[in-house]
Structure 1
């Protein structure tokens, strides 16, 4: 599957792991971890961007705790209809982009956001589009948070439902969507970030990076 096909399939995603699915379950432990980490270093008026925000459960949690300058990128247009129903205040106040991450990030100014975060999103960036990681480093003013599956013993318990065909650093969601195992510390320290925290979760690795002062 090439990069264009991957984007098209995520844009049309419905049913399990769709925007409706995530809105139904609402904010979770990951939402709490992201909020706690941001609160420890940033004021509520900080500008925050989520990559692959879906219907907005993590951003809604931030909004409920006083963050107002929120933005999100999501390729599935259904997500914004779900957001308007599930999180109407977030939908009304946030800035959202219905497009692929690859098509949006180049339009932002350097250091446009105080914090940028992703939850099980960057792991689906196709190998042909790895240039986007340098762009993410460019637009991040202070903190970058990644919550991604980096591979390991619990790979097949990942809640997107893997098959058993693992080929090196690539696995497949539902036997179709590629999931790339990457060490995000290696990726973003290459672009000048300092890793200031990490934590192993059930399926993912939670990492916090900071731009050097």
Structure 2
């Protein structure tokens, strides 16, 4: 049964499972190994849908300091402050739906934007969000998403097709099989030509 955008938002506000998410550290290490190949510690990084902050913590613990996270769940944000106080003190954590935040962010503000199992939950009514992700990304974009699986809260998409149409070139592709994410595809994009990004923004 199809759900509305509001219903999807309400679900994730109440069902972020931060304690379960926090213990899957192998996934953060998997992601970190890729990020270190492209981004230095003094560059700006944004995670969309940071949950309890596990990925950001691994970046912070490896000397990345210009970090921002967006998270819709109040419970997840509270657990972030509880479990990673030093990260919280030194990171810009924005508690809000991505739809209400990204459209107000400056163009080319982040050297890297990344998502892990978040874009797959973006409701079809919010697909305009991809234009803003492209707009705020200065250099690199990483997506680790389920692209083929589908249910009432997972919407399958080909992110290579989406972001190459928004001015990016895919430079690397892998699967998450090694961290028990066999249905997930990791894609790394480099911004190619800002002039190809939607003129409607």
Distance 1:41 1:96 in 2: 23
- Determine whether 1:21 maps to 2:30: no
- Determine whether 1:106 maps to 2:108: no
Aligned to 1:5: 7
Superposition TM-score, scaled by structure 1 size: 0.84
Cα displacement string for residues 148-187 of structure 1 (whole angstroms, at most 9, x for unaligned residues): 0012xxx4xxxxxxxxxxxxxx413xxxxx2001011001
Superposed displacement of residue 34, structure 1: 2.3
Gap runs ≥5 in structure 2: 177-181, 194-201
8 Å CA contact 1:144, 1:210 repeated in 2: yes
Aligned to 1:210: 190
Cα displacement string for residues 9-34 of structure 1 (whole angstroms, at most 9, x for unaligned residues): 11111xxx5112212x1422x32232
Aligned to 1:47: 44
Give the number of aligned pairs. Answer: 186
8 Å CA contact 1:80, 1:91 repeated in 2: no
SS in 2 for 1:206: strand
Aligned to 2:158: 183
Aligned to 1:81: 78
> 4+ residue runs of structure 1 moved beyond 2 angstroms?
none
Distance 2:156 2:164 in 1: 17
SS in 1 for 2:25: coil
After superposition, residues 30-179 of structure 1 pair within 5 angstroms as 30-151=27-148, 155=149, 170-172=150-152, 178-179=153-154
Aligned to 1:164: none
Distance 1:138 1:31 in 2: 25
* Bigger shift: residues 188-197 or 76-85: 76-85
Superposition TM-score, scaled by structure 2 size: 0.88
Aligned to 1:175: none
Superposed displacement of residue 36, structure 1: 2.0
Distance 2:189 2:29 in 1: 17
SS in 1 for 2:47: strand
